[in-house]
Structure 1
Amino acid sequence: MSSQRAVEFLSKGEKIRGDLVLPEGEGPFPLLVMGGGWCYVKEIVMPHYAKAIVEKGVAVLMFDYRCMGASEGLPRQHIDPAAQIEDYKSAVTFGERLPEIDGERIGVWGISYAGGHVLAVGATDERVKCVISNIPVVDGYENMRRVHGSQRFHELNELILADRRERTKSGTAGGRMPMSSLHPFSELSTWPFPTIHTIFHDIKEREAPRHEHWSTIESTELLLGYDVAPFARRLYDKPTLMVVAEGDEITLWDLEIGVFNSIPSARKKLAVLPKVSHMSLYSKQNDLAVAGRLAAEFAAEHLGVR
């Protein structure tokens, strides 16, 4: 049987907590480091994907970023993509030192915001031997501009500017805003889709009590400066799988495919899943199973399961 244990490690002085799951048999095993997306704690979705990966003989390390979930760090619910990318690299450093893990066979897996992070991690950390990017955020500015529409995007920028002025004046972490809202035309949120609100509150109630459906306003300001395209162009010879939901209106499948096409690696694979949505890859077991199987097979192939 597979085994699971809680682990913790430091990232820039902050204590990061996660779970290490080992396959059956004797190691050392290859390892896939797994991080979540916007406001996601490790209990959201990752265990479902991890199950298929571990069954293929690959260990997984699921972790919460600093300021999120079980990990330490202030301000809470502050989402800094550069810091989260650093947390990924700290997780790789922790994993490569474990006696159960083969430090020469480590990959990274990410979904949504983290789907973009792993492209950056893979491009800047030579220890990473494969990249699995699910429904990634690739261009924060264009993503926000399109999902909000011109008028609401203007209002979003006004809110961000007001928060910046207040942070400078008061020296505090600033205000907070919802991840999503049931009333996106009257309440500003980062991701203005009622389905996101409904599905994540259901997941929180069932299996992820640490999930908080809000972030600092500055987190959204940082999202507007997020662009992984330059990193994708540096993935010269790294096996990279990108899973895209056909017609994804949340992280914008056309942008995702454009970034995939820019990856120069000959060892890349694009999987466009028909009849799924961004959120069904969190909530529908059949869709989770398809994406999980693709990730497991890709990881096993490129991390050299023996």
Structure 2
Amino acid sequence: MAGPTRESHRIPANGIELDGWLYLPALPAAATAAASTTSAAAAPLIVMSHGFAAVKELYLDRFAAAFAEAGFAVVLYDHRNFGRSGGALRGEIDPRQQVDDLRDVISWAMALPQVDPARVGVWGSSYSGGHAISVGAHDRRVRCVVAQVPTISGYQSLLRRAGPQLHAVRAAFAQDRAARYRGEPPRYRRVIDQDGEAGIYGSDDAQAFYSAAWTLADGWDNRVTLRSSELASEYEPGAWIDRVSPTPLLMVVAEHDTVTPTDLALAAYERALEPKRLCLLPGGHFDPYTTHAGRAIAAARDWFVQHLG
């Protein structure tokens, strides 16, 4: 029996095309023959996307391949305006648009002949961890949710990140909004420090994580629009967490997360209803992708197997 395969696809979503990979699990010869006449070989589905300003090549291929090894069809894609996905305003991150795109990707994947549309799961990390919560709360096609180090409250994150500069940050948002209304180009911010410009994320672990994209992904651009930060400050996926139930929810939380703060995640988990599970990992926000990836993968895989497999 051969291993899982990976195909490249252009996925229509809300007027553009998203760049995605479709992983298909290996099938025994008997199941492959049955698939030509029945749906016997249709696999449960996991739809995956990355976090703020990140692209699929940034460590998520390892997660997707492991899920496919466990028997799942997996769709891993880049958000609009990033990677090879379409979108005219590069570096713009609108969480509501990303959530709507995610629901279109689910629709596209459910129509694939290799997929069982009755067994659909969503996996999201960081910013997309918030998307997984939002979609799990509103879209009953989704039967299982994994949210890894998820965004819970954009407002609380802004307060902690901006600190005494809060009023200056909000003034910059307002100035950018007025300039864009006048037809001027949007202002941009670095994601991490580069060429003397400060980034949104200034920690050493963030610098190491995002800078890996220059090696792993072709043409990753270290910038996002300022409006992306404004929209992030207004994004509150944690408000919906009690509505995910009865869909099973796994939250993977890092013990010392300062990007999507640990205390916000744990408080949100307490508000979530059953069935739910918490996987608490050592380290900071970026460790589940690297240092503790094996544990993060295993927890998510086992949750999907339990509820979709």
TM-score normalised by the chain length of structure 2? 0.91
Residues 1-306 of structure 1: matches in 2 within 5 Å? 1-25=3-27, 26=31, 27-151=41-165, 153-169=166-182, 171-181=183-193, 187=197, 189-201=199-211, 203-264=212-273, 266-274=274-282, 276-284=283-291, 287-303=292-308, 305=309
In the other structure, the counterpart of 2:34 is: none
Query: For residues 222-257 of structure 1, what are the alpha-carbon distances to aligned partners after superposition, in whole Å with 9 as ceiling and x for unaligned?
Result: 011100122112112010000000021111010011
Decide whether the 8 Å contact of 2:78 with 2:85 is kept in 1: yes
Aligned-partner Cα distance in 1 for 2:10–2:214: 25
Aligned-partner Cα distance in 1 for 2:170–2:255: 29
Decide whether the 8 Å contact of 2:49 with 2:125 is kept in 1: yes
Aligned-partner Cα distance in 2 for 1:130–1:246: 24
**SS in structure 2 at match of 1:53:** helix
Question: For the pair shown, which has the larger CA radius of gyration, 1 or 2?
Answer: 2
The verdict on how the C-alpha distance between 1:154 and 1:180 changes in structure 2, with shifts beyond 3 A counting, is: farther
Aligned-partner Cα distance in 1 for 2:199–2:156: 16
Task: Kindly state the Cα deviation for residue 182 of structure 1 after the two structures are TM-superposed.
Answer: 6.6
Task: Kindly state the Cα deviation for residue 156 of structure 1 after the two structures are TM-superposed.
Answer: 2.1
Task: Kindly state the Cα deviation for residue 173 of structure 1 after the two structures are TM-superposed.
Answer: 4.7
The verdict on how the C-alpha distance between 1:50 and 1:155 changes in structure 2, with shifts beyond 3 A counting, is: same
Aligned-partner Cα distance in 1 for 2:272–2:220: 33
Decide whether the 8 Å contact of 1:148 with 1:192 is kept in 2: no
The verdict on how the C-alpha distance between 1:192 and 1:145 changes in structure 2, with shifts beyond 3 A counting, is: farther
Aligned-partner Cα distance in 2 for 1:147–1:76: 24
Aligned-partner Cα distance in 1 for 2:267–2:185: 35
Q: CA RMSD in A?
A: 1.7
Structure 1 gap segments, 5+ residues each: none
Equivalent residues, number:
295
TM-score normalised by the chain length of structure 1? 0.92
Identity %: 31
Task: Kindly state the Cα deviation for residue 165 of structure 1 after the two structures are TM-superposed.
Answer: 1.7
Aligned-partner Cα distance in 2 for 1:211–1:30: 31
Query: For residues 268-290 of structure 1, what are the alpha-carbon distances to aligned partners after superposition, in whole Å with 9 as ceiling and x for unaligned?
Result: 0011112x211222333xx1111
Aligned-partner Cα distance in 2 for 1:131–1:49: 15
